[in-house]
Amino acid sequence: MKRVLKDGPDDIRFQLLGVVETWPRQDLQQLSDELEALTMRRDDWGVDLRALELLVHFRLRDQEWLTRVVGNRIANLESDLDDLRALRAELEPGQH
């Protein structure tokens, strides 16, 4: 399980996280390091967000860490959204 979360393909990781979310907290705690590592990289499958959801829902890290990581993710996504809006504006008629 740990090996797949660490090195497996993103689609398998995503499916696996859907299974482990039904586990009791004490069992999930054993995967907390792998879940934390998954939150540090963005992917097309949403594995990072799903891992963060598990960490938050089951409180597998301390409140300060969870709050900081969620805040950083929000800031990054807001920045991405600003960039996408600027790109959309370039595509509007009369631009460029």
- Res 71: pLDDT: 97
pLDDT tens for each residue of 24-49: 999 999 999 999 999 998 888 999 99
pLDDT tens for each residue of 55-92: 999 999 999 999 999 999 999 999 999 999 999 999 99
Domain ranges within the chain, ordered by starting residue: 2-91
- Res 89: pLDDT: 95
Place of tokens 């990289």: 41
pLDDT at 1 over 90: no
pLDDT at 52 over 90: yes
Q: How far is CA 74 from CA 21, 37, 66, 77, 96, in A?
A: 23, 18, 12, 5, 30
Give the pLDDT band of residue 96 (cuts 50, 70, 90): low
pLDDT tens for each residue of 19-28: 999 999 999 9
38-59 core/surface letters (b: 16 or more CB in 10 A; e: else) = bbeeeeebebbbbbbebbbebe
